[in-house]
Amino acid sequence: MEQEHKSVEKMWGKYLTSIGESTYNTNKNYTSWHFCDNEKSANDLAKLVREEIKSGTSSLYYFYGVENEELPMEDNHSVITKWNGIAQCVIRTKKVTVLPFKDVNKKFAKIEGEGDKSLTYWRKVHIDFFTRELKELEMEFSQDMLVVFEEFEVVYK
């Protein structure tokens, strides 16, 4: 398991202090992660989140089962990092929607805040990304595949 950068725990502690809690006296937990599968995209997307332009993300439902990972849930907290693991901000999940890729609409594309925020752009970059992810498992992307769409807000930066 990769060790998390010291900035992540430090930012989490500062967030808890800002809401009147401490790491010793809280019922809140967090995960830390970066976006995407390459450094440039991961860093660009973290910046969009920090600037509160990007307030949503999506992933393939299939991978939660493969990686034995829980689906995001409302009120989950995450420390968003750059590619190198350095903490950028803390987000709180506001809403989780599971739907077929083909049913993602303009509203979701705009919430993701990437590129020109159009559905056309969203579909292109996500088909490219999901195709790369699935190729490793010798699977093909289908527009019927379920997408987990997570809406969030920045609660600390």
Asked if the model's pLDDT at residue 85 lies above 70, the reply is yes
Q: With CA atoms as reference, report the closest residue to 124 among 135, 112, 136.
A: 112
Angle among Cα 75, 52, 20 to the nearest 5 degrees reads: 45
Whole-structure pTM value? 0.91
- Domain residue spans in the chain? 6-151
Report the pLDDT value the prediction gives residue 22, as an integer from 0 to 100.
86
For residues 139 and 54, give the distance between their C-alpha atoms in angstroms, rounded to a whole number: 29
Asked if the model's pLDDT at residue 2 lies above 60, the reply is no
| Tens digits of residue pLDDT in 21-40 | 988 888 889 999 999 989 99
The DSSP annotation for 69-87 comes to -PPP-TT-EEEEE-TTS-E
**Fold category of 6-151 in CATH:** Sulfate adenylyltransferase (3.10.400)
| Tens digits of residue pLDDT in 99-149 | 999 999 999 999 999 999 999 999 999 999 999 999 989 999 999 999 999
The kind and range of the H/E element at 145 are none
Q: With CA atoms as reference, report the closest residue to 126 among 100, 92, 152, 154.
A: 100
Report the pLDDT value the prediction gives residue 23, as an integer from 0 to 100.
82
